[in-house]
């Protein structure tokens, strides 16, 4: 199964990368752009055949390695 872990900075945490992207888009002629947040997505191919087991393993990986829970939040989706 494939697990997709999306990791974003928490809402209160400053995001200079997102800010820079937003500024660049404004300069490129996209005045409709407001707040921009940049994050990471990690696609994991897992040997599990059970969606629930795959999800809980991926959450465990996110907590132990992928995300820094002090400043980041993560979400796990299972895709086929």
Residues binding its own copies (CB under 8 A)? 6, 8, 18, 21-22, 24-25, 28, 30-48, 57, 60-61, 64-66
For its own copies, give the closer residue by CB, 61 or 76. Answer: 61
For its own copies, give the closer residue by CB, 38 or 70. Answer: 38
| Token representation of residue 63 | 């907590």
For its own copies, give the closer residue by CB, 14 or 35. Answer: 35
Q: What is the dihedral of CA 23, 29, 32, 36, to 10 degrees?
A: -30
Q: Are 58 and 46 in contact (CB under 8 A)?
A: yes
């Amino acid at each position: 199964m494939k697990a997709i872990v999306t990791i974003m900075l928490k809402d209160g945490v400053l995001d200079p990368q997102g800010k820079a992207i937003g500024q660049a888009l404004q300069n490129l002629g996209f005045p409709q752009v407001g707040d921009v947040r940049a994050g990471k997505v990690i696609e994991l191919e897992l040997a599990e055949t059970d969606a629930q087991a795959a999800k809980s393993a991926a959450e465990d990986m996110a907590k132990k390695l992928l995300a820094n829970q002090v400043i980041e939040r993560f979400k796990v989706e299972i895709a086929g």
